Structure 1
Amino acid sequence: MKKLTILILFIISTTALHAQESFITEVSYPFLDKLIATAKQNYPEVKIRQAQTNAAKAALTQSKVMWLDAFTASYIYSPRSSFNLSNPTFFNGYQISISVNLGSLLSKPFATRSAKEAVNVAQYQQQQYNLTVEATVKRLYFTYLEAQADLRNRARAVVDGEIAVKQLKYTFQKGESSFHDYNEALTSLYNQSSFKVQSELAMLTAKANLEEILGTKLEEVK
């Protein structure tokens, strides 16, 4: 009877320690898409990338308008009733003149091309960071689910350990098991309780890391 009891307890302990619950069935890809969308909407670095793209587009628009800087318009007015002996003019009334700065005019295509490339660079950087955000959210989400599954395993191991301790305590009091066996069961229960605490910390840390990039509480993502 003693050997049978110890064998049963060994099987229970081994199962609790080594049976790992898969979290694959817990993965929800529609919910994961919501998490990614939330991160892109709230995470400050994403907003910075968008602002840089908008600034590059504004600079491009400005460079196109600055083509007019190469042209300078002016006018003079000569009254019909006056005659200037030092600087005689043959035309009376308003006279308009337009001057062109060739150096400025020739430099404008290069400035516009540079502004277009700046827009492309900003857009590529934004696209690259969006991919980084997606990969990061996926990794943190999977880590969080894995931590939850591990915590459930550890919680069951503690329950099994408590059952084993109660059984050994009962058989020990009846003289059917030794104090050594009872003490080992207590030690195992203590270890499993410690592992559970570590798993709780890992789960909370994984949740905090995920919420950091989401910019909101996980429970608020619907």
Structure 2
Amino acid sequence: MKRISLVVLALFLGFATQAQVVKTDTSVLLKLPPDPARIARFKEKLVELALQHPDMKQYAIKKQINKYELNSTGAQWLNHFNAAGNLNEFTLKGGSSNNTFFPRYNFGVVLPIGNLIKIPNDVKRVRAEKKVLESQQESDALTIKATVLQLYEEYAANKQLFELHMPLVEDALLNYQQAEEKFRAGDETVSIELYKEAYRAYNGEMAKKILLEKELRQSKLKLEEMVGTTLEQVLLQI
């Protein structure tokens, strides 16, 4: 009776193990190019795509707005000039030559003294805002570059850790399967304690695999979010 119970336990653990053997998500195991030069191009392409992010494209619009504001500010000088046609030129027809006494056009300039300082300063301010805008764009570009490269290193490291752990999972599974086979065959060298220990060891390695795979998947998603496309697509472009 005791032997039957142990066999039932073995069968139960065997079914539990089969349920835990989950296929690895191959989409996270991107095959990175072994060539250092190609890896460098891959990183450059990642940075290039990240710099096309909508947050960076707004700088082109802001620069255009700054250009419009500069033109508008410089045109303020024209507000102080006025010109008008003389009414006599158009209404007195067929009159004597005395009509030529009146000028045909009137020109005038009204220039508040304060504007001699205000308008040039406004122009300088708009130009200074352009320099600040360019500085911000350069700073953001450097930040994005650093972030992308950091995310790449995290993905590459997580990928390597995951790949290094896979043989441990396979060894634990093989050890458990061998213990299970001997235990079911009645091999006295494999006690129920050894059998259960092999099962727990395999379970522990599977738990680590799941966590490592999760971290790998998350690091891949973060990097893809920055560049706006999948890493597989990026590899096709280099």
Give the TM-score band, short-chain normalised.
Answer: 0.7 to 0.9
Q: In the alignment, is the contact (CA less than 8 A) between 1:154 and 1:196 conserved in 2?
A: yes
Of the candidates 225, 232, 235, which is equivalent to residue 212 of structure 1?
Answer: 225
After superposition, the Cα gap between the structure-2 partners of 1:204 and 1:26, relative to the gap in structure 1 and judged at 3 Å, is farther
Residue in 1 aligned with 2:45? 34
Q: In the alignment, is the contact (CA less than 8 A) between 1:49 and 1:126 conserved in 2?
A: yes
Unaligned runs of 5+ in 2: 1-31
- Alpha-carbon RMSD: 2.6
* Post-superposition CA distance 1:107-127 (Å, at most 9, x none): 210110000001001101100
1:90 to partner: Cα distance: 8.2
After superposition, the Cα gap between the structure-2 partners of 1:184 and 1:106, relative to the gap in structure 1 and judged at 3 Å, is same
Q: In structure 1, how many angstroms separate the alpha carbons of the residues matched to 2:134 and 2:230? A: 29
Of the candidates 146, 152, 173, which is equivalent to residue 157 of structure 2?
Answer: 146
Which of 67-76 and 150-159 deviates more? Answer: 67-76
Residue in 2 aligned with 1:199? 212
Q: In the alignment, is the contact (CA less than 8 A) between 1:77 and 1:92 conserved in 2?
A: no
Q: In structure 2, how many angstroms separate the alpha carbons of the residues matched to 1:55 and 1:156? A: 58
1:48 to partner: Cα distance: 1.7
Give me the TM-score of the superposition, normalised by structure 1: 0.77
Residue in 2 aligned with 1:136? 147
Counterpart of 1:58, as a letter, is: Y
State the secondary structure of the residue aligned to 2:104. Answer: strand
What does 1:63-212 align with in structure 2 at a 5 Å threshold? 63-79=73-89, 81=95, 91-102=101-112, 103-172=114-183, 173-212=186-225
Q: In the alignment, is the contact (CA less than 8 A) between 1:70 and 1:105 conserved in 2?
A: no
Q: In structure 2, how many angstroms separate the alpha carbons of the residues matched to 1:115 and 1:205? A: 43
Unaligned runs of 5+ in 1: 1-22
* Post-superposition CA distance 1:47-100 (Å, at most 9, x none): 12332233223322332233322322333243473799xxxx983240321213
Q: In structure 2, how many angstroms separate the alpha carbons of the residues matched to 1:65 and 1:156? A: 73
Q: How many pairs were matched up? A: 194
* Residue 59 (structure 1) aligned with residue 69 (structure 2): yes
Q: In structure 2, how many angstroms separate the alpha carbons of the residues matched to 1:61 and 1:160? A: 73
Which of 156-165 and 51-60 deviates more? Answer: 51-60
After superposition, the Cα gap between the structure-2 partners of 1:93 and 1:56, relative to the gap in structure 1 and judged at 3 Å, is closer
1:166 to partner: Cα distance: 2.6
1:139 to partner: Cα distance: 1.1
Counterpart of 1:100, as a letter, is: V
State the secondary structure of the residue aligned to 1:177. Answer: coil
Q: In the alignment, is the contact (CA less than 8 A) between 1:40 and 1:46 conserved in 2?
A: yes
State the secondary structure of the residue aligned to 2:130. Answer: helix
Q: In the alignment, is the contact (CA less than 8 A) between 2:83 and 2:105 conserved in 1?
A: no
* Post-superposition CA distance 1:163-221 (Å, at most 9, x none): 22133334544222332222111101111111111122111111111111111222211
Q: In structure 2, how many angstroms separate the alpha carbons of the residues matched to 1:99 and 1:215? A: 56
Q: In structure 2, how many angstroms separate the alpha carbons of the residues matched to 1:120 and 1:36? A: 24
Counterpart of 2:69, as a letter, is: A
